[in-house]
Amino acid sequence: MSSHGNPIPMISSPCGALSGVAEVPGDKSISHRSLILGALAVGETTITGLLEGQDVLDTAKAMRAFGAEVTDHGGGSWSVHGVGVGGFAEPESVIDCGNSGTGVRLIMGAMATSPITATFFGDASLNGRPMARVTDPLTLFGCQAVGRAGGRLPMTLVGAKDPVPVRYEVPVPSAQVKSAVLLAGLNAPGQTVVIEAEATRDHTERMLRGFGAEVSVEETEAGRTITLTGQPELRPQHIEVPRDPSSAAFPVCAALIVPGSDVLVPGIGLNPTRAGLFTSLQEMGADLTFENLREEGGEPVADLRARYSPQMKGIEVPPERAASMIDEYPVLSVVAANAKGETVMRGVKELRVKESDRIEAMATGLRANGVEVSDGPDWWTVTGCGPGEVPGGALCASQLDHRIAMSFLILGMAAKAPVRVDDGGPIATSFPIFEPLMAGLGSDLQREEA
């Protein structure tokens, strides 16, 4: 089942060269944060290039429920009239975050230090994901959380009446946890300190500064130490959301494995905390060129050109790179299946608690399509079949996970026989224009009868 409707079975058949310009949608992480920080500022924040995927639309709806005025002006242009730090109203009804871990975890952080109560739930995927990683630090501020066994949604949070600042060492590499703590720290007096042993995406820190909060970052022995001074008045901003490198990954990887392809993806965000996939692909021997490197709205941006690369070889992806490409392992494994030799991915335990267990989901589908995969708790390896040598021909379960569905559809484009997915519906959570965009480049993607 897709997150917001009936299943949409899809088939991807081997296709000719992919070519053209792929204008992928806005960055999902930055889109969520634009709406949430806009809601916490005093006055009107304007946003262009917002990702209008279901995950972000659910966050927009949630911000309205907490009292912000959120307006869709069309074409990715949005505005948010914020209520100020500590100004959230109590929602009248439960908050449905759909499929989005980022949405629910960031919003929980943003409300945890206000004297209001809110109940959160999501789809079957989100209701199965661990939330204690966020509620543990939020209770240190004085918030209370009651959920199902194992810290699962649905869950009710009673925000702290007299929040205290917190010093927290994040036990897992997670930008969502870090961000939830920082957003909670906004309405606590004094300094909230978050320490992460491994650097994760830093959009929250960058954007908080843009909105006028005092945020300092220091490298210490314990790791990256972020200090936020609480109770700032956030100033509304104009935000231009860069295109999402995690969405760009799909047309880029497709171009690398489909013979004769040459695809340009303009204006993608290239924040170093997000760019690990491109480093890995280059190590494999991919023909990638970055053009027009520039800065837009505080984020590095470039135009990325990807060309068919039959010379690619398997590599060992080091664990310290995991955080900077955590969402890209599924599609990297598809490229690895089309390369020569073995690709080893280590330090990737977090993949098991995403929208699905992504190691299990990819291993099962790749094996069904004739690719050899081994896996353990925090590692997996893919033995490449060589360019154009993946047999294909199997049906894969997308497990309510957009990136699993898209990865298998990319696999079909370069396989010997078509690859099917049982449900392409979840793709709309992050990349609603995936089908027309890939068709425009020359892919053969079809919806099938349910």
Between CA 212 and CA 206 the distance in angstroms is 10
Question: Does the footprint of ligand S3P cover residue 12 (CB under 6 A)?
Answer: no
Q: How far is the CB of 352 from ligand S3P (least distance, A)?
A: 11
List 58, 202, 287, 327, catalytic entry: 327
Between CA 229 and CA 82 the distance in angstroms is 20
Among 81, 201, 206, 274, binds ligand S3P (CB under 6 A): 201
Among 40, 325, 326, 371, binds ligand S3P (CB under 6 A): 326
Number of residues that bind ligand S3P (CB under 6 A): 10
Residues 119 and 165: beta-carbon distance below 8 Å: no
Contacts to ligand S3P from residues 80-109, by CB under 6 A: 102
Instruction: For 42, list phi and psi in degrees, rounded to 5.
Output: -100, 115
Judged by beta carbon, residue 29 or residue 227, the one nearer ligand S3P is: 29
Among the residue ranges 37-45, 159-167, 173-181, 299-307, the one whose residues contact ligand S3P (CB under 6 A): 173-181
Q: Which residues contact 133 (CB under 8 A, 6 or more apart)?
A: 151, 171, 172, 174, 177
Question: Does the footprint of ligand S3P cover residue 271 (CB under 6 A)?
Answer: no
Concatenated DSSP letters of 298-349: TEEEEEEEEE--TT-B--EEPGGGGGGGTTTHHHHHHHHHTSBSEEEEES-G
Q: Which residues contact 74 (CB under 8 A, 6 or more apart)?
A: none
Q: How far is the CB of 241 from ligand S3P (least distance, A)?
A: 12
Q: Strand order in 316-317's β-sheet?
A: 316-317, 342-346, 379-383, 372-376
Question: Does the footprint of ligand S3P cover residue 184 (CB under 6 A)?
Answer: no
Question: Does the footprint of ligand S3P cover residue 206 (CB under 6 A)?
Answer: no
Instruction: For 29, list phi and psi in degrees, rounded to 5.
Output: -60, -45
Among the residue ranges 65-73, 110-118, 171-179, 369-377, the one whose residues contact ligand S3P (CB under 6 A): 171-179
**Which residue in the block uniquely carries the two structure tokens 């996939």?**
277
Judged by beta carbon, residue 135 or residue 261, the one nearer ligand S3P is: 135
Q: Quickly count: other Cβ atoms within 10 Å of residue 29's Cβ.
A: 28
Question: Does the footprint of ligand S3P cover residue 59 (CB under 6 A)?
Answer: no
Between CA 381 and CA 346 the distance in angstroms is 9
Among 327, 422, 423, 435, binds ligand S3P (CB under 6 A): 327
Residues 308 and 260: beta-carbon distance below 8 Å: yes
Among 179, 237, 324, 398, binds ligand S3P (CB under 6 A): 179
Question: Does the footprint of ligand S3P cover residue 350 (CB under 6 A)?
Answer: yes
Question: Does the footprint of ligand S3P cover residue 174 (CB under 6 A)?
Answer: yes
- DSSP annotation of 38: H
Q: Is 327 assigned a catalytic role?
A: yes
Amino acid at 251: P
Q: How far is the CB of 55 from ligand S3P (least distance, A)?
A: 9
Question: Does the footprint of ligand S3P cover residue 129 (CB under 6 A)?
Answer: no
Judged by beta carbon, residue 34 or residue 343, the one nearer ligand S3P is: 34
Question: Does the footprint of ligand S3P cover residue 398 (CB under 6 A)?
Answer: no
Q: Which of 252, 201, 195, 249 is nearest to 226 (CA)?
A: 195
Q: Which residues contact 356 (CB under 8 A, 6 or more apart)?
A: 125, 398, 399, 400, 401, 404
Contacts to ligand S3P from residues 140-169, by CB under 6 A: none
Point out the residues that are catalytic: 327
**Which stretches of the chain bind ligand S3P, using CB under 6 A?**
29, 102, 174-176, 179, 201, 326-327, 350
